[in-house]
Amino acid sequence: AQSVTQLGSHVSVSEGALVLLRCNYSSSVPPYLFWYVQYPNQGLQLLLKYTTGATLVKGINGFEAEFKKSETSFHLTKPSAHMSDAAEYFCAVTNNFNKFYFGSGTKLNVKP
C-alpha cells in the first residue's frame, strides 16, 4: 500500500521568502512522485514529477523538489515566494501510473 503525508495544512510565508512544502511517502516499491497546484475553482495542474533519473527535479514557476529515498521525502521548494504562488499544493505518489495516491494538501499563503 502507498500513502502520502503532507506536514502542515497551512503554510504562510512573506513575499520573497523561501517556500518549503513537505511531503513524505510510504511505498513498498520504487515510487513515482508528483506535485500539483490547485488555484481556486480550477483543476489541478502538474508542477513537477520524479519518475527516473536525476533526483532533483525542476518544475514550472521556479519550483523544484528533491527525491530523497533514505528519508522517503519529496519536499517542494522555491527560493523566493511570489504573491501568485498562493494556492493549494498536493503531493502524489504512484508505482504503476494506474492508481495515484494524493496527500491532503497544503494551502500556501503569501504575505506582502
Partner 1 sequence: GAGVSQSPRYKVAKRGQDVALRCDPISGHVSLFWYQQALGQGPEFLTYFQNEAQLDKSGLPSDRFFAERPEGSVSTLKIQRTQQEDSAVYLCASSLGQGGTYEQYFGPGTRLTVT
- 59 forms part of the interface with partner 1 (CB under 8 A): no
Q: Residue 100 CB: number of other CB atoms within 10 A?
A: 15
Q: Tell me which residue has cell 517556500.
A: 19
Q: Which stretch binds partner 1 (CB under 8 A): 19-27, 47-55, 57-65, 78-86?
A: 47-55
Alpha carbons 106 and 92: distance in angstroms, whole number? 12
- Shortest gap between Cβ of 38 and partner 1 (angstroms)? 8
Q: Name the residues that contact partner 1, by CB under 8 A.
A: 4, 6, 9, 32, 36, 41-46, 49, 51-52, 90, 92, 97-105
